[in-house]
Amino acid sequence: MFPFGKKTPSKTLSRVKTTFHSVFAVIVLSAFVLGISYFVRELSLLTPTKLAAVSQPVLDKLGVSNETAGEVAGEFAKRAEPPAAVEAPKSVEEEKEALFSIAVFADVHSDLEINTVFLLGDETDLGVPKDLAAVKKVMDDSGLTYYALPGDRDLYDTVGQQAFLDVFGVNYHSVGIGGKKFVLLDNSANFTIVLGNLIDWFVREVADADFVLLSQPLYHPSNDKVMGVVDGEEDAAVRKQALELLDVIRASPVVAVVAGDHHMSSTSPDPVDTQLTHYVVGAITRERNLQPPRFGVLTIFTDGDYEVKDVVL
């Protein structure tokens, strides 16, 4: 099922594409943060030196100096740690004209038009309000526009979304950036259906979307933790709703569903819609991680292809 790979979107989209420069910057930024489960708790492990080492091939392509990268990465990491990086194997897609970036380069957005971050959940351990507020402060201080979803761990303290809502204000988003539309839906609560008004909103928004982002996957061919199933225990009503959401997505122009929660990256073609791919992004934390810590990078090529790849830390 993994590592991540390339998918060529062939569903017809009616929207006029904008410049690839604006498309790549936002999408790659999104993909990095999507790979961060337990985001704030692990920020101290991501030192400026380490981030610069991981991103060196990217920086070379973009003409960004190590000094600039290290300075910006310092906003997100405080403790010193020896550099360590494992670069994902090069693919034939790198022979195409492609543009890359890394999300944490807060100051680079002035030159590269990076200004948007997606947080896919499990930003805290137990959803304690002060911890959620700490996450929000990190993002507010970064100067980036960001959109956050809760994960199941962010619901523990209030046994529901209330603490997350008190801090972040909303738990769903529809975002149009660079000619691409992203729909973010909170399906983080295990054994709990998504409310009808939110489902109605999702159906409307997905009708012309490109990517769907979720707290937990709707489909996986082998993992027994998907929406409506936790460690093999199924909630019939929630699972039924998950399958209904899948049907809505399959009837739309969406080419990829990206989710977290598994602590293992994977790529799975949809068993019904051959133009749809399901991605689960690996965790950047070492805790309960079945793989080395990693994040995902989503690249948009000039010919319209896209590729999701792992960057292993």
CATH number, domain with residue 249: 3.30.750.180
pTM value surpassing 0.75: no
Domain membership of residue 276 (yes or no) is yes
Whole-number Å distance between alpha carbons of 49 and 82: 7
Instruction: Please report which residue ranges of 143-282 form alpha helices under DSSP H.
Output: 162-168, 196-206, 236-250
Measured torsion, CA atoms of residues 154, 156, 161, 167, in degrees rounded to the nearest 10: -50
Per-residue burial over 219-246, b if 16 or more Cβ lie within 10 Å, else e, is bbeebebbbbbbeeeebeebbebbeebb
Domain membership of residue 57 (yes or no) is yes
Supply the pLDDT for residue 138.
Answer: 80
- What range does the domain containing 234 cover? 6-312
Domain membership of residue 122 (yes or no) is yes
Domain membership of residue 234 (yes or no) is yes
Q: Walk along the chain (313 residues) in steps of 10 and give the mean pLDDT of each run.
A: 50 41 37 38 45 48 49 42 46 51 29 58 73 82 82 60 83 83 88 90 97 90 87 90 97 92 83 95 69 70 74 72
Domain membership of residue 1 (yes or no) is no
How does DSSP classify residue 76? T
Residue in the structure block whose two tokens are 């000039």: 302
The total number of structural domains in the chain stands at 1
Domain membership of residue 245 (yes or no) is yes
Type of residue found at 83: P
Supply the pLDDT for residue 6.
Answer: 53
Domain membership of residue 135 (yes or no) is yes
Per-residue burial over 165-193, b if 16 or more Cβ lie within 10 Å, else e, is eebbeebbbbbebbbbbbbbbbbbbbebb
